[in-house]
Structure 1
Amino acid sequence: MTHYIGIDVSKAKLDLAWIRDIDKNKVKTKVYKNEHADYPNLIHWLKANVTEDLSNLHITVEATGVYHENLAYYLHDQGLRVSIVNPAFVRSYADSLGSRHKTDKKDSILLARYTATTKPDLWTPPPAEARHLKSLLSRLDALQHDLQREQNRQEKAEATDTAPIVSASIEQMIAALQEAIAKLNGDIDDHINNHPNLKQDQELLKSIKGVGPATSRQMLTLMHNKSFTQASQAAAFLGLIPKQVQSGQFRGKTRLAKNGSSSIRAKLYMAAVVSTRYNPDIKAQYERLLANGKCKMQAICAAMRKLVHICFGVLKHQMPYQPQTTKIAA
């Protein structure tokens, strides 16, 4: 018999709910700290109150930033079945039930009911090397943003009457950040080279005209940390799906959804611009869209989306990029 558990995760605490009888709405709840030291107590409570056989539990948490990750990894390592769901799906489910009140306790009960009725897909954690690469790239992105801010401050200082000690401080900070970025880039390259699967997949991505080292790294960590079954899922995850606003006679502009990582989209944008000149498939699409009356930005957005599809394709088939336009012309 499967028992369904919902855990509402916040930075400080975990609200747990067990649906004892969904028809009679009987539930049992408990609160724990969102700290690794308290996770064993949560497991002890489940064994004492629900079942000794943890394989009979199905636990669902929402993807709440990063605060759910440590718990999800811990539960999975303990042999529990875990689902990580999009909060928007749970909110739609709550609306269908007419649920209006929102508290952490009620959210945990809602998650338990959602698990019992919809049976969400089970989550499989990405490999350790993929998680490590993701954390390295996240740190690199943060350092590059810090460097850009210091360079902006330096530009302002040079244009104003700034005390020499301030200018010297900015220069020292820029030098330190540049050194840290150079070292981290080396660490990232070493990490990829030390894992044959990552190294091979990066080479496949770099075979795509327009995809350089920075974009290949971002797409590598994305594809290895997410279990996409279709290229369209990856494009949607990155917010590259057109979203049209329409109501009655009103026809709004079509824009990108822009959910997902803005950092990856920024790198894809630059890669797409290059691809419109050097990638035959994307160049042909870009020119066709412009000839059909699309503006340059719409054509670039379509190029970004196509680039994601090509990246997905070379990794799925484990084959270097082969332009389709050239094949058709031949």
Structure 2
Amino acid sequence: MQGKVSSERTAMATVYVGIDVCKEWLDIHLHPLGRSFRVTNDTAGLRRLKRELDALDQMPRSALHIVMEATGKWHRAVQRSLHADGFYVSVVDPLRARLFAKACGFLAKTDRLDARLLAIMGEALKPAQTPPQDQALEALQELVNARSAANGERTALSNRMKTAVTAFLRKELTRRLAALDTHIARLDAEIERSIGAEPEMRRRLDILISILVK
């Protein structure tokens, strides 16, 4: 199937679709058609984007190459939705995009210009397709990141406790530390539950633990 898609893509002119993703909007540029438009970054906006792409004259989805930057949680739903509907989507590292922009002499920075840059980058570098991350793994990473942030906050509060003099401040810090300990414990329990619910993640974790304890 992949070979069929690849041969179809090389047998016809490709339209490169640069998408600049932010929380509220998706700015889109079609290259080399020179057309730009904006949709909302929500379900309705994605439906409109797909309608616009499907309306291109005699342009099957296999002839479209979508390029967007990795922007944390904001790009993931867009990537997953487009990938599920058969679009060829590449997610590129923001640093790589900035270096490409610098090499091309793009000094200004606007959402519309960023979308055009990504489309041109797609044509020049032809980045590989990026399958969406497994949703269970994505959720687990979010929990782990939250635990790391909470642990960092706890360390900062503990250091402040060491220098606190007034009884009131020490009492307040103690209360906040206790609340953080409860929060971290709940995160640990949810992380453990999430891993246990996914046999493949549990298998990988057991392998990692066995390596570390040797």
Shorter-chain TM band: 0.7 to 0.9
Change (3 A) 1:179 1:97: closer
Q: State whether residues 17 and 112 of structure 1, in contact with CA within 8 Å, keep that contact through their aligned partners in structure 2.
A: yes
Write the distance in 2 (CA, Å) between the matches of 1:130 and 1:65. 14
Q: 2:180 aligns with which of 177, 182, 188?
A: 177
Aligned match of 1:204: 207
Write the distance in 2 (CA, Å) between the matches of 1:152 and 1:51. 64
Change (3 A) 1:181 1:101: closer
Aligned match of 1:35: 42
Change (3 A) 1:51 1:7: farther
Secondary structure at 1:82's aligned position in 2?
Answer: strand
Q: State whether residues 21 and 74 of structure 2, in contact with CA within 8 Å, keep that contact through their aligned partners in structure 1.
A: yes
Aligned match of 2:77: 70
- Do residues 186 (structure 1) and 189 (structure 2) align? yes
Runs of at least 5 residues in structure 1 that lack an aligned partner in the other structure: 211-320, 322-330
Aligned match of 1:3: 15
Runs of at least 5 residues in structure 2 that lack an aligned partner in the other structure: 1-11
- Residue 147 of structure 1: CA displacement? 1.9
Secondary structure at 2:29's aligned position in 1?
Answer: strand
| Deviations 1:22-70 (CA, angstroms, capped at 9, x unpaired) | xxxx410001233344222222222234667434321000123443222
Write the distance in 1 (CA, Å) between the matches of 2:134 and 2:71. 21
Looking at both structures, which has the greater relative contact order when contacts are Cα pairs under 8 Å and sequence separation is at least 6?
A: 2
- Do residues 97 (structure 1) and 104 (structure 2) align? yes
**What is the count of residue pairs matched by the alignment?**
202
Runs of 4 or more, structure 1, over 6 Å off, are: none
Q: 2:158 aligns with which of 141, 151, 164?
A: 151
> What are the residue-to-residue correspondences of 1:47-62 with 2, within 5 Å?
47-49=54-56, 53-62=60-69
Secondary structure at 1:139's aligned position in 2?
Answer: helix
Code of the residue aligned with 1:169 in structure 2: it is: E
TM-score by length of 2: 0.82
Write the distance in 2 (CA, Å) between the matches of 1:17 and 1:163. 60
Write the distance in 1 (CA, Å) between the matches of 2:82 and 2:157. 41
| Larger Rg computed on CA atoms | 1
- Residue 77 of structure 1: CA displacement? 2.2
- Residue 155 of structure 1: CA displacement? 2.3
Q: State whether residues 76 and 132 of structure 2, in contact with CA within 8 Å, keep that contact through their aligned partners in structure 1.
A: no
Write the distance in 2 (CA, Å) between the matches of 1:198 and 1:167. 41
- Residue 120 of structure 1: CA displacement? 0.7
Q: State whether residues 36 and 70 of structure 1, in contact with CA within 8 Å, keep that contact through their aligned partners in structure 2.
A: no
Code of the residue aligned with 1:14 in structure 2: it is: L
Write the distance in 2 (CA, Å) between the matches of 1:50 and 1:28. 14
Write the distance in 2 (CA, Å) between the matches of 1:64 and 1:76. 17
Q: Percent identity?
A: 32
> What are the residue-to-residue correspondences of 1:1-330 with 2, within 5 Å?
1=12, 2-19=14-31, 21=32, 26-49=33-56, 53-157=60-164, 160=165, 162-164=166-168, 166-209=169-212
Q: State whether residues 3 and 50 of structure 1, in contact with CA within 8 Å, keep that contact through their aligned partners in structure 2.
A: no
